[in-house]
Structure 1
């Protein structure tokens, strides 16, 4: 299905959404004419149930089960469960859609049409288009769906076709589309430009490492987004086992998400000086690979002892964060598929984030709830600072013991984020393990809608 609404004047069939507890009253009132049909079909208004309604000339409409509050709480996009079960055609919501959920549910409907078909012939999927419900801004919701499709496509593309060069090309295409500038520092030039950690992590790969730098807007507060662009992560010389390497095409999920957020910001023309920094590398194995025990210099001047080459994401982010802070942005956000510890803590559905700004944290939580983008604040727990200080160097990239892995990684990054007015770090998964309504199995946008809702207020826009 296309990620767009049906025209407002489309000859759309009516869809009546019914909560379980409202079914009886509907059958006594407006639905009395269909009572026998509904009872014979065994329709109970369970979430995702669909019952086509017959008319004189064929299909007259449909009932969609909206379940009960408990069932809706288990789904991010309850309406999408109905959408995917409807007969093909154009539909409009006749009744039953809560006004305060209309935009979120309309977005879920559009996202239920997403499919990644780059590597196979696109099947003839039946279209189920929705007329934008009253009060819903169709342009805004379509824009959000398009940005998520960009993120999902990037994450779903395997590393053979999305190495550092292809990620650069995707960033350049986005920049050109919105009239943004882009500069890229590659290979040995990273050393000349004092980006040694980005160079160290990516130097063993067939494709040169690079730092992608996009700018858009010349007025307003400075907003800088930093995304981890590790296009494939073998683990380096601390080689991952095969099972752990299977999903490493998604290790550039942080970059994909900040590009999706940047697309939203530029499409909505926020009055900000936007900057997007993406260290794009592949963590590979060759004679030039960095080694366990190496001590690396960073742009900030802090030295880092490498106790695990598989903790490379924080290294490339460190240089990018230090670069970002040199111009003192009012807001700095990093996004990365950084630690397995974050997944153990909150699972794949929730995007944990870290910030010292209480107002920003509250705004993120509220916006995530409004836009079906669950986030959860984890602490920058100061007593754990000692865990990232090895003694032989300023910092340790992989503290021993395994405790508090997401927190120690965030504390490591915060050392390089000094100088920003506010800083938030998201440790995302960017992957949907099993298909769910509105969320196809595969790449996923996480934390972006929460940021879109929270950042304008935090920046005083």
Structure 2
């Protein structure tokens, strides 16, 4: 069990946490010890969302905790509001005595609020635990927290310690620990095995580009393939980024990190599917052999691609990986990528756009995202914008002419490389929290994978 939980059958005394809405505050205070109710009123506790009040007991101990949920019908209440508790409480053992809402989300919020990225600093010592409620699926909740922590750790690790080889090592460990079959195609072998776009993007770096490829599960089960953009650092190439845009480019492998997180959930749950994970892992660098604007390359699919801008490298490496995924009969292909700034302009950092032709998948995913607090928004694969990718000298340009609909045209480019699969989904994620929120510290973040796991769990139950 994770260190910040205690088993549900523990006999150790635990301080009660009363999570209460503003509407139910009076009733809760009336049920408490009169002195506790008087203390809350004296302190002006109004149960505002995220407010924490420690109710004192004997010998300077905390007798109870009041935690505000705000208005009962507030649509803006963060899904992981309970993630504020770990930083607000002194060391000790706690239990959720009362809670109005989804108890599993509340407990997951606690776990996510305990996350710290402390690889490069002295860890802060804190002994804080929550009794796992007996009605919560502890095994799945710990798996969810573990997957999110893994994604965050990968995205938060700077590029000097996480390049293509190190990302591949993380993928190998995950596959090996779960009995998967792993292989890599590295460096010049990418050309031999026909991955010209992956090779072109990664050729300028001293750190060899590679294609990570592992499988897991029964070969006769329905096939699900996950493709993640693994650009471990993106300078922008010869279309070099300004320093303000380059600062966070260690997170440009966020798609790969999230794919690995989802793969971990699938394997730990032992879903009845045949899983394949494909990650083109590269560093988009600058040197004499860097690819250039105006260059034309073949792709694995056979389409020739004109390079419009070397800073749009993610869709290039995904194109070869998607073409490979599409070569076998697959029920579902999902690709995840920190692909466009246009997606953030349209929907902000919290709401990743997803693209699919599959109406049923889109509806199921939207419903799952709402239920598990993993928001997303379907955007259109608007066919009339496809002409914006026209090239006079190649089959396709990989960026659109003009500045409109950047996220949509990126998705339309990727769609050209997926023709045979039954269903395809593209998620243009941010994989980063720019301003701290409950349960979500500033830094790398898992997006869409919990919603996807809910859908896969219902379709391919263990």
* Smaller-chain TM-score bracket: over 0.9
Query: Alpha carbons of 1:289 and 1:301: their partners in 2 closer, same or farther (altered >3 Å)?
Result: same
**CA displacement, residues 418-450 of structure 1 (integer Å, 9 cap, x when unaligned):** 111100000000000011110010000000001
Contact 1:47 1:81 in 2 (8 A): no
Determine whether 1:91 maps to 2:103.
Answer: no
Q: Distance between the aligned counterparts of 2:85 and 2:213, measured in 1?
A: 42
- Distance apart, 1:67 and its partner CA: 1.5
Q: How big is the shift at 1:135?
A: 1.7
Q: How does 1:155-170 map to 2 (within 5 A)?
A: 155-170=155-170
Partner of 2:5: 5
**Residue number among 39, 42, 66 corresponding to 2:41 in the alignment:** 39
The verdict on how the C-alpha distance between 1:3 and 1:153 changes in structure 2, with shifts beyond 3 A counting, is farther
CA deviation after TM superposition for structure 1 residue 455, in Å: 2.5
Contact 2:296-2:304 at 8 Å conserved across structures = yes
Which blocks of at least 5 consecutive residues in structure 1 are unaligned? none
User: Could you tell me how far apart the structure 1 residues matched to 2:331 and 2:216 are?
Assistant: 15
Aligned-partner SS, 2:404: coil
Structure 2 match to 1:53: 55
Q: What is the alpha-carbon distance in structure 1 between the residues aligned to residue 454 and residue 443 of structure 2? A: 24
2:116 counterpart residue number:
115
Structure 2 residues not aligned, in runs of 5+: none
Maintained 8 Å contact 2:224/2:276: yes
Which whole-Å deviations, capped at 9, do the CAs of 1:85-114 have from their partners, x for residues lacking one? 22221111111332xx11111111100000
Mean CA deviation greater in 157-166 or 35-44: 35-44
**Residues 211 and 280 in structure 1, CA contact (< 8 A), matched pair in contact too:** yes
Q: Which residue of 1 aligns with 2:182?
A: 182
Q: 1:132 to 1:97 in 2, by over 3 A?
A: farther
Size of the aligned set, in residue pairs, is: 458
Matched, 1:75 2:75: no
Residues 213-232 of structure 1 mapped to structure 2, 5 A cutoff: 213-218=213-218, 219-232=220-233
The equivalent of 2:309 in structure 1 is 308
Secondary structure of residue in 2 paired with 1:220: coil
Displacement, 1:47?
A: 1.7
3-state SS of paired residue (1:20): coil
**1:62 aligned to 40, 62, 65, which one?**
65
**1-side partners of 2:111 and 2:55: how far apart?**
23
Structure 1 residues 155-209: Cα deviation after superposition (integer angstroms, max 9, x where no partner): 0011111000100111111111111111000011000000100000001101111
Please say if residues 3 and 145 of structure 1, whose CA atoms lie closer than 8 Å, have aligned partners that are also in contact.
no
Q: Is the 8 A contact 1:233 1:249 kept in 2?
A: yes
* Number of the residue aligned with 2:242: 241
Give the equivalent residue in structure 2 for 1:147.
147
- Secondary structure of the structure 2 residue equivalent to 1:329: coil
Q: How far apart are the structure 1 equivalents of 2:76 and 2:86?
A: 17
Q: Which moved more, 1:449-458 or 1:433-442?
A: 449-458
Matching residue of 1:345: 346
Distance 1:257 1:374 in 2: 15
What is the CA-CA distance between 1:286 and the residue it aligns to?
0.4
Return the alpha-carbon distance in structure 1 between the equivalents of residues 106 and 367 of structure 2.
Answer: 17
Residue 271 of structure 1, CA deviation = 1.1
Answer yes or no: is the 8 Å Cα contact 1:26–1:32 preserved in 2: no
Moved more, 45-54 or 338-347: 45-54
Tell me what 1:132 maps to: 132
Computed over aligned residues only, the root mean square deviation of the Cα atoms, in angstroms, reads 1.6
- Secondary structure class of the residue paired with 2:158: coil
CA contact (8 A) 1:364 1:450 kept: yes
CA separation in 1, counterparts of 2:163 and 2:130?
37
Corresponding residue for residue 389 of structure 1: 390
Please report how far the alpha carbon of residue 259 of structure 1 lies from its aligned counterpart in structure 2 after TM superposition.
0.3
* Structure-2 change in CA distance of 1:317 and 1:160 (3 Å): same
CA distance in 1: counterparts of 2:32 and 2:93, whole angstroms: 22
Whole-angstrom distance in 2 between the partners of 1:127 and 1:84: 11
* Residue pair 1:292, 1:307 contacting (<8 A) in 2 also: yes
SS at match of 1:60: strand
CA contact 1:380–1:411 (8 Å) conserved in 2? yes
- Verify the 8 A CA contact 2:23 2:72 in the aligned structure 1: no
Q: Is the 8 A contact 1:223 1:332 kept in 2?
A: yes
Aligned to 1:257: 258
Larger CA deviation: 285-294 vs 389-398: 389-398
Contact 1:295–1:393, Cα closer than 8 Å, also in 2: yes
